[in-house]
Amino acid sequence: MRFSALVTPVLIIFSIGCSHTSGSRLPDSIRSPSSTYYVQNHGKDSRQLEATVAEILRERGLNATAGSASMRPQDGAYLVTYVDRWQWDMRMYLLKFTIAVSDSETGKRLGFGESYQDSLAAMGLTHRDVIERAVDELLGSR
């Protein structure tokens, strides 16, 4: 077997980007226009992704606001938290984004969405695209 015959399939396998989404859909019972959601910055995010998440939630028909933990309303809004994991591969890209909604009073997690992509799969995507995929998993839109 020639070396080039072996290398070509291996290069093709490694050149295909890997991405996936997963989640647990938010119950329909709390997706009414009267429900409010507060997207809380986790304190280490200087990109202000909480504002992007809240904007996407509003575009999907939910009543969402965003800010820091100290700005969190005390009116019982559902708490939306997120974890953003960034990676460097000749550029910074959002490797993994996880969003979760919890009951503000009990702390019980009511749903989550997650989006993962490696460097190749993230080519051409903005961090907003990655966040939208995770939100779509949370809302069952995918």
Domain limits, the chain: 17-139
Q: Helix (H) and strand (E) counts for the chain?
A: 3, 6
The pTM of the whole model exceeds 0.75: yes
Write out pLDDT tens, residues 17-70: 798 899 999 999 998 878 999 999 999 999 999 999 999 999 999 999 999 999
**What DSSP string runs through 117-141?**
E-TTTTTT--HHHHHHHHHHHHHT-
Residue 48 token pair = 């202000």
CATH code of domain 17-139: 3.30.160
Write out pLDDT tens, residues 100-123: 999 998 999 999 999 999 888 888
What is the C-alpha separation between 127 and 3, in angstroms, rounded?
39
